[in-house]
Structure 1
Amino acid sequence: MTSTVRKAGLAVLAATLAFAGAVYGVTRPAAADVTAALTGPQLVADMGAGWNLGNTLEASNNGIPSETAWGNPVVTQALIDRVAASGFKTIRIPVSYLGYIGAAPDYTVNTAWLNRIKEVVDYAYSKGLYVLINMHGDGYKTVSGSWLICDASSQTTIQAKYQKVWQQVATKFSAYSEKLIFESMNENFDGQYGNPTQPCYTNINAYNQIFVNTVRQTGGVNTSRWLLVPGWNTNIDYTAGNYGFVIPTDTYRSSTIPAAEQRLMISVHYYDPWDFTGTEDGTITQWGAAATNPAKKSTWGQEDFMDAQLKKMQDTFVVRGYPVFVGEYGSIDKTSYDSANNTYRANYARTLVATAKKYGAATAYWDNGWNGQHGFGLFDRSANTVTQQGIITAIMAGLGTQPSTSPSPSTSPSPSTSPSPSTSPTGGTGACRVTSTVNAWNTGLTNTLTVTNTGTTAINGWTLAFTLATGQTITSGWSAAYAPSSGTVTATNASYNGAIPAAGSVSIGYQATHTGNAAAPTAFKLNGATCS
């Protein structure tokens, strides 16, 4: 069983809940990235830990997309700030179009809906995160108004509609840098679990090819950005095995891309064993070598199986230059049956992320916004707080990175783009290290700064001083307050990230304009102490 059933069932449950949310934050414009594109291995490394904004922009009611239809609040900048502060570098945003697509032959997508998609994308993109958007619920037979059905008889009409929708979406984002990735569809199959059928798989391959051709032909950065395509139901066996998956040709990509390099990624999901990750009962609540009760542990799908499955993706695709993206994984909360369940959920997440990294794949945890029994949630999206720090820590550990200091679950960050600083720094002038990740385009750049406390005592409140290159001016920032906007700048901690434990780190960042010099800043000092 895959996540089609999972999402449908949880959607019904979530629809009974009432949440309230308010939109706030500042959306900043995107610009074309004219810097060299990353290779596959570089891309996977740079994407880091990923997270899904699930059950939101793909939610719908009677065939009409509605981000609150399945019980989640309206997405805010503050939520994305919290996700980024927790260490995630990539956000996947599932999207449905459904009844917001107009009539033939133009199939015009509702303007307000496209603008809302852009607004949510910008919450993450403007922070320097990787962002993935797809076509999600339009291919589920269980969703009212779905139409991207691979075994339907009207394939000519379906394919024309699919082409027009992607043409509009790709055009909307054609100037965004390659930190925006498009995914052709989600878990498309005929609804029958078992070996793929023909010609349904042939039609899935056709959708992928239309997607690649259409996006490339819209021009701009779309001629070179990374594109993500799935096989049958994003299933590893049916994608890597001899069941009919065909990698699209990339005829219309930019001639500036070296011939030996790819710009296509392969999408799969991982929820094995489902009796641990998704079955909503208390029978199987433990996973992995650390399990203490054999009766609560599945008879299959343990570490060796996970390793073998992800190795298939490396052997079939990664070695040929096609990176793999495990766009969904995770396990539901069964602590009501077994108080130790979260330990095994964390073990599962850590092992999946580490194994994927081992075999050249990036990952994104499936978060449906639901906390408590049977939920996948890592965050409370109304309070913008962390609910499963243990799982988040495990994800970062699996990736081999030091997570940013996460905001305390009992407090929420300021809703402004640059959170208000806390009181004056009170301590911590020990050793420090700062790394800078600049992504530049013709007149602008974003820069993510990771500040690490390499001393032996905790830092409680901080200011980071640094010198911008000549001609650079900060226009907006996140996770700190910045002043002045050029020259020697001081970044002061936000209300939720002032504490940096020994060997801990925080990530902050800003967007800036430049007049030709996009160099990283220099002369870092943390609370007056020079950093390496």
Structure 2
Amino acid sequence: MRSQARRVGLAFVAASVAFAGAVYGVTRPAAADEAAPLSAAALVAGMGAGWNLGNQLEASNNGIPGETAWGNPVVTQNLINRVKASGFKTIRIPVSYLGKIGPGPDHTVDAAWLTRIGEVVDYAYGQGLYVVINMHGDGYKTVNGSWLICDAADQTTVRAKYQKVWQQVATKFRAYDERLILESMNENFDGQYGAPTQPCYSNINAYNQIFVDTVRRTGGNNASRWLLVPGWNTNIDYTAGNYGFVVPTDAYRSPTVPAGEQRLMISVHYYDPWDFTGQEDGVITQWGPQATDPAKTSAWGQEDHLDAQLKKTHDAFVTRGYPVFVGEYGSIDKTTYDAANNTYRADFARTLVATAKKYGAATAYWDNGWNGQHGFGLFDRSSATVTQQGIITAIISAAGGTQPTPTATTSPTRTASPTAAPGACRAVSAVSAWNTGLTNSITVTNTGSTAINGWALRFTLATGQTIVAGWSATYAPATGTVTATDAGYNGTLAPGASTTIGYQAGHTGNAAAPTAFALNGATCT
């Protein structure tokens, strides 16, 4: 994303909400395990609609990364829950390292920074989402402390530093399965908009090759996971056209990957036409088939241009087995100039996502956390609430997904009818834990001969656990002995029928499953 749209000042209205996002238990494989190969088609289908956690882990001040440096609040699990509940399946997490990198020859990355990156990754990965992490601001000439510069004089030092940093990052994440995707860099070029220059492009190609070789050699799941590489400034023309981009070789990938399949994907961004998507003069506020005022509509960059651009990526890469990821797209809020602007923003997002899907590409909307004039925000990050439901709906529907309706964690609003007899239920937990959090799915089965019409499941949490989010039931209280009351749609259980509910909880070192299950007062087996 261009720097002038990244460093927008941020203002948030703080609010407190209780939110229970849909979460899924995920068990991270052991470091020695190797992820099962995932085909290009399965990857793109699985990634679905994506969203960028922009202006957070790539933010920096005087060359030192910090997630609140550009005005956003600290990233929370509740925010990621809300993004997931809104229907997104992928979260791209831009990351800068900059002054967190130590001196050569080891170039050790600050341990606390790596830990925090891992925590934010786990917020999304732990809920079953695809996660993309990259090296972001280190290649921007406009960022203090940047060093991954393709026209720097000492390329030997640049490449050695790049290799060491990626070796450490890849090692940290090598046990994660194929839902984690590593991206070599972001919008790397010499800073001059226009045709690529040499030897800068050759150096970018060299960085990509170092990245692929380094990640593969760290072993574990890194030997077979999908790796994402960009061309010049992630520009479609300069990546898909005959301007010097070279897809890296992949000599060190796992032999478990079928010989006829790739494990590299191509990164591009899409912000055409810029006078609509990012220019802040307020002149061009409309786009697409519903535009009503030619004076407010750009003379280029409409649907035909978008289709042609994404077809280029399909013809150049997808046909060869390399899926494409439109890792950034979006348009700023210009409703202060045109009250109908959000309609055109939604049309732009819908068309981009639908066209990308047609041509075998996944997508991720650029959200910088800023809501209001010139902001890209879809969510209020302080309150973990939706601010642009129309744009989100357009994205999710175009990707072919659905938007689940989360159930808030509140006290039960009705009392279940105690129709179950003792011994007429079975409850099975499936706990997946990470760091100081866990998810638990509970499958409840009516083992009796009489239908249950309305239920309340009581269970006891392990000491030190507190429920922070839940789904398919309401939960109260959050600690100790908890009662989960049906959500209405799952309140009737015929004999032999089951329903699955679940929650996310924090813990203080005890991730044990709950005990003492009882359904409508009857002890469960």
Common fold, TM-score beyond 0.5? Answer: yes
Contact 2:416 2:485 in 1 (8 A): no
2:29 to 19, 31, 56: 31
Q: Which has the larger radius of gyration?
A: 2
- C-alpha deviations, 1:108-135, integer Å up to 9, x for none? 0000000000000000000000001000
In structure 1, distance between residues paired with 2:245 and 2:355: 24
Q: Higher relative contact order by CA 8 Å / sep ≥ 6: 1 or 2?
A: 2
- C-alpha deviations, 1:403-424, integer Å up to 9, x for none? 22268xxxxx6xxxxx566534
SS across alignment from 2:7:
helix
Corresponding position: 1:400 with 2:407: no
- C-alpha deviations, 1:285-317, integer Å up to 9, x for none? 000011011110000000000000000000000
In structure 2, distance between residues paired with 1:299 and 1:306: 13
Contact 1:265 1:322 in 2 (8 A): yes
User: Structure 1 pair 184/35, CA: closer, same or farther in 2 (3 Å)?
Assistant: closer
User: Structure 1 pair 463/115, CA: closer, same or farther in 2 (3 Å)?
Assistant: farther
Deviation at 1:238, TM superposition (A): 0.3
Contact 1:19 1:72 in 2 (8 A): no
Q: 2:3 corresponds to which residue?
A: 5
Contact 2:35 2:178 in 1 (8 A): no
Letter in 1 for 2:3: V
User: Structure 1 pair 146/341, CA: closer, same or farther in 2 (3 Å)?
Assistant: same
Deviation at 1:38, TM superposition (A): 1.6
Contact 1:68 1:74 in 2 (8 A): yes
Q: 2:234 corresponds to which residue?
A: 234
User: Structure 1 pair 144/341, CA: closer, same or farther in 2 (3 Å)?
Assistant: same
SS across alignment from 1:92:
strand
Contact 1:127 1:510 in 2 (8 A): no
Contact 1:261 1:321 in 2 (8 A): yes
Corresponding position: 1:322 with 2:312: no
Q: 1:305 corresponds to which residue?
A: 305
Contact 2:50 2:363 in 1 (8 A): yes
- C-alpha deviations, 1:4-26, integer Å up to 9, x for none? 2334xx41533xx588899x999
Q: 2:60 corresponds to which residue?
A: 60
Q: What's the Cα RMSD here?
A: 3.6
In structure 1, distance between residues paired with 2:178 and 2:412: 35
Query: Any unmatched runs of 5+ in structure 2?
Result: 418-429, 433-437, 443-452, 458-465, 476-482, 491-499, 505-525
1:172-187 equivalence runs, <5 A = 172-187=172-187
Contact 1:350 1:395 in 2 (8 A): yes
SS across alignment from 2:182:
strand
User: Structure 1 pair 210/52, CA: closer, same or farther in 2 (3 Å)?
Assistant: same
Q: 2:413 corresponds to which residue?
A: 423
Deviation at 1:31, TM superposition (A): 2.6
Contact 1:421 1:493 in 2 (8 A): no
1:353-364 equivalence runs, <5 A = 353-364=353-364
SS across alignment from 1:13:
coil
Deviation at 1:499, TM superposition (A): 8.8
In structure 1, distance between residues paired with 2:308 and 2:441: 35
Q: 1:162 corresponds to which residue?
A: 162
Deviation at 1:464, TM superposition (A): 11
Contact 2:63 2:99 in 1 (8 A): yes
Deviation at 1:493, TM superposition (A): 6.8
Contact 1:85 1:479 in 2 (8 A): no
In structure 2, distance between residues paired with 1:325 and 1:169: 21
Query: Any unmatched runs of 5+ in structure 1?
Result: 408-412, 414-418, 428-437, 450-460, 466-474, 484-489, 501-506, 512-532
Tell me which moved more, 35-44 or 58-67: 35-44
SS across alignment from 2:242:
coil
Contact 2:150 2:188 in 1 (8 A): yes
User: Structure 1 pair 492/264, CA: closer, same or farther in 2 (3 Å)?
Assistant: farther
Q: Normalising by structure 2, what TM-score?
A: 0.78
In structure 2, distance between residues paired with 1:271 and 1:510: 38
Contact 1:48 1:362 in 2 (8 A): yes
Contact 2:474 2:486 in 1 (8 A): no
Letter in 2 for 1:423: T
Deviation at 1:509, TM superposition (A): 6.4
Deviation at 1:396, TM superposition (A): 1.1
In structure 2, distance between residues paired with 1:180 and 1:493: 34
Letter in 1 for 2:9: L
Contact 1:98 1:145 in 2 (8 A): yes
In structure 2, distance between residues paired with 1:464 and 1:291: 52
In structure 1, distance between residues paired with 2:241 and 2:440: 41
User: Structure 1 pair 499/78, CA: closer, same or farther in 2 (3 Å)?
Assistant: farther
Q: 2:421 corresponds to which residue?
A: none
Corresponding position: 1:247 with 2:247: yes
In structure 1, distance between residues paired with 2:209 and 2:120: 27
In structure 2, distance between residues paired with 1:145 and 1:301: 35
SS across alignment from 2:315:
helix
Deviation at 1:273, TM superposition (A): 0.2
User: Structure 1 pair 21/257, CA: closer, same or farther in 2 (3 Å)?
Assistant: farther
User: Structure 1 pair 34/272, CA: closer, same or farther in 2 (3 Å)?
Assistant: same
User: Structure 1 pair 424/196, CA: closer, same or farther in 2 (3 Å)?
Assistant: farther
Q: 2:193 corresponds to which residue?
A: 193
Q: Normalising by structure 1, what TM-score?
A: 0.77
SS across alignment from 2:335:
coil
In structure 2, distance between residues paired with 1:39 and 1:96: 30
Contact 1:170 1:215 in 2 (8 A): yes
Contact 1:333 1:375 in 2 (8 A): yes
